[in-house]
Amino acid sequence: MADPVALLDPAVEPVVAPSSADEPRDAGGRRVVVLLLCVLVLLVSLVIALRVGLGGGMGWAEIGRSVGTRFGLPVQPLPRLADSLIWDLRVPRVLLAALVGAALAVCGAALQSVTRNALADPYLLGVSSGASTGAVVVVLLGFAGSQLGMTGGAFLGALLSFALLMLLLRRRGLDSVRIVLTGVVVGQLFTAITSLVLMSSGDADSTRALTYWLLGSMAPARWQAVVLCAIACGVGLLVVWLHSAALDGFAFGVDTAASLGIDVRTVRMVLLVTTSLLTAVAVAAVGAIGFVGLIVPHGVRFLVGPLHRFLLPLSAVVGATFLVWTDALARVAFAPLEVPVGVFTALIGVPLFLLILRERGEL
Amino acid sequence: MRIEARHLSWGVPGRTIVREVDLVVEPGQTVGLLGPNGSGKSSLLRCLAGLRSPTAGHVRYDGADIAGWPARTRARHVAFVEQTADTDSDLTVGEVVLLGRTAHGSPWRGPDATDRAVAAAALDRLDLAALADRPWKQLSGGERQRTHLARALAQRTWGLLLDEPTNHLDVRHQLELLELVATTRQTVVVALHDLTLAVRYCDRLVLLQHGVVVADGSAEQVLTPELLREVFEVDADVGRDDVGRLAVAYRGPAR
C-alpha cells in the first residue's frame, strides 16, 4: 500500500496504481452475481406469466405461434381472436406489470433515501392519489383514449401532491410517523377530490371503469401504455441511478450530505420530479398500486446492502418480478373473477408496514 | 488553508444565533471553540463549513469568499463532522468512510482504487481497519464518532471542522483523537466541552457566549476565573499542573 500518511495529506496528490495488489477486496462481485441471477429469474417469470391463467384452452403452443409470428419465425399464425388475446392483451400486460413494478420499487428506494424515512413509498405519501386525480380529470375532460394525456395529467397531479406534502412538512422535519400521517392526509384529500370530480362529471359507465382502475389493475394494459412506460422507466431509472452516490450520502442527514459535496437542494428536486414522473406513468397506465415501493427495497437491502448503485438496479429487477407474479396471482386466485392487483400488493404490504413500524419502536 | 469569518451573523427568523463574529484561523492552527450549550458553537461551525448562508458578513477560505461556491468545491476544501450524525441505513464502517470520497470521484461510478486506498489509510489512522465490514447498527457511540472522523480525513481537505468529536469516546480514544487532530497539518476548528482537553491540544481558544466571541487567545487569556464564572456560571480555580500547563479545578456551580 502507498504510504498511509501521504494518502491522507491534502498537500500530496494520492498516487495509487490501479492494479495495486493489496487493493481491498470488492464486495461488488458478489452483488453483481446476485443481480444477474435476479435478472434471470425475471426473464423466466415473464415467460411463465404469459401462460398463467390463459383461457380458451390455449397453452404454450399458441403463445409460441402468436409471439413467433411477430418475430418472423416460420410458425403457423393463430386465428385472429386467439392471437389478439395473446399478443394484444397478455403480452403487454405482463410487460407492463414488469415496468410498473420496476418503476414503483425504484421510486420507493429513492424516496426512502431522500426523505431519510424507511416508510416512504409513492402510495403512502399520497403521490399516487395525486396522480390518480390528475389522470381522472384529464379523462373526464375528454382525453380518455390518450395515454400521453393521462400521463401528463397524472404527472401534474403527482407534482401537486408532492408540493403540498413538502409544504405541510416544511420546518417540521421528516420523521417517520409525521411523514406518513401527512402523506395519509394528502392522499385522503386527493382521493376525495377524485371522487368529487368523478361523481359530479362522470356518467355511470366511466365512473365504474375509473373506479376499478383506481384500485390498481393490469387488465386494461395495452401496447401504447407499454411503450410510454418503457421510455419513461428507461429515462427515470437512469436519472435516479446516476444519483446513487448522492442517495448514499443522504444517509446521515442533509448537513453531512452537503458537507460531502452533495448539492442537497438540486438533488432533492431532481429526484422528487423524477419519482413523480415515474409514479405518474405507472398510475396512468394501471392505477394506484400501493406498497411495491415499500416491500421491494426492504427485501433487496437484505440481499445487497444499502449502497444505491446496487440497491437501485436490483430493486428494479425484483420489483418487476414481484408485480409480474402478483398480477398472475390476481388473474387466477378467484378465476374467472379477476381481482385488482392493488388489492394483493396491499394485502402483502400492510403486515410488512406494521413490522417496520414495530421494529423502529413506533408502534 | 486560512479560514476567516468577518462580521459573521446567522440566525433563524426572530432569533440571532451567531452575532458579528470575527475569527481568523491561520493555516495549520488548531482552534478550540468553547462555550456552554446554546452558545452558538455548532451554528458557527456550520457557517464556517458553508452549510448555512450567513445573514450578514462573510466566510473566506484563503481570502476567497465561499458564498455561492458549489457544494463539491466546498467539500474539497473543508470536511465537517456533526455532533451526532446517525442513520437508519445499515452501511458498513468501510462504506461510510468511502462517503468521504463523494466529492472526488465522478458521480457516475463507484469508488476507484485511489478512493479505496485513501479510505483504507483513513480507517488505519483511526484504528478501525478491523471493523471495516461491521454494520453501523452494531457500532458503539465511540466507534461511530471515529468512523465519522475517518470519513472526514478521507475527504483530504485542508480544513477540518469538528463538532464535539470526543463525545462518546473513552479517555484513551479522546486523547488519541485530539492528538491526531492537533498534529495534522490541516487547519482545524474543534468545538469542545472539556476545558482540560482544550488546553492540552489546541493552539488557541475561542470562547462564545450567546453567539458572541467574548475571548480569543491563549488558554491563559481565555480561561480566567472571571470569564469561567461569567460564561459557564461555575466557580473555578485556575492554576498550573506539574508540567506547567494551565489547569482548571472546579469548585462548583457559581453561587
pLDDT at A24 over 50: no
Please give the model's pTM, rounded to 2 decimal places: 0.90
User: Tens digits of per-residue pLDDT, B53-72?
Assistant: 999 999 999 999 999 899 99
Domain spans of chain A, in order of start: 95-359
- For residues A315 and A285, give the distance between their C-alpha atoms in angstroms, rounded to a whole number: 20
A278-306 mean pLDDT: 89
| Per-residue confidence band for A359, with pLDDT thresholds at 50, 70 and 90 | confident
Q: Which of A26, A119, A254, A259 to mutate to test the interface with B (most CBs of B within 10 A)?
A: A259
* Greatest Cα pair distance in chain B: 60
Is the Cβ–Cβ distance between A140 and A206 less than 8 Å? Answer: yes
Interface of A with B in 72-111 (CB under 8 A): none
Cα B136 off chain centre by: 22
Q: Do A16 and B122 touch (CB under 8 A)?
A: no
- For residues A63 and A73, give the distance between their C-alpha atoms in angstroms, rounded to a whole number: 13
CB-based contact (8 Å) between A313 and chain B? Answer: no
Q: Which of B44, B59, B102 to mutate to test the interface with A (most CBs of A within 10 A)?
A: B102
Q: Do B51 and A261 touch (CB under 8 A)?
A: no
State the average pLDDT for chain A: 86
Q: What is this model's ipTM?
A: 0.92
Instruction: Give the distance from residue B199's alpha carbon to the nearest chain A alpha carbon, in angstroms.
Output: 25
A258-277 mean pLDDT: 92
Instruction: Give the distance from residue A168's alpha carbon to the nearest chain B alpha carbon, in angstroms.
Output: 19
Class at the top of the CATH hierarchy for domain A95-359: mainly alpha
Instruction: Give the distance from residue A262's alpha carbon to the nearest chain B alpha carbon, in angstroms.
Output: 6
Q: So what's the pLDDT on residue A362? A: 60
Chain A residue with minimum CA distance to B133: A27
User: Tens digits of per-residue pLDDT, A225-266?
Assistant: 899 999 999 999 999 999 999 999 999 988 999 999 999 989
- For residues A284 and B105, give the distance between their C-alpha atoms in angstroms, rounded to a whole number: 38
**Other C-beta atoms lying within 10 Å of the C-beta of residue A168:** 16
Angle subtended at Cα B43 by Cα B38 and Cα B44, rounded to the nearest 5 degrees: 110
C-alpha cell at position A98: 414488469
Q: So what's the pLDDT on residue A22? A: 44
User: How crowded is the C-beta side of B134, counted as CA atoms within 13 Å?
Assistant: 13
CB-based contact (8 Å) between A20 and chain B? Answer: yes
Q: Which helix (H) or strand (E) holds B185?
A: none
Q: What are phi and psi of B142, to 5 degrees?
A: -65, -40
Q: Do B95 and A307 touch (CB under 8 A)?
A: yes
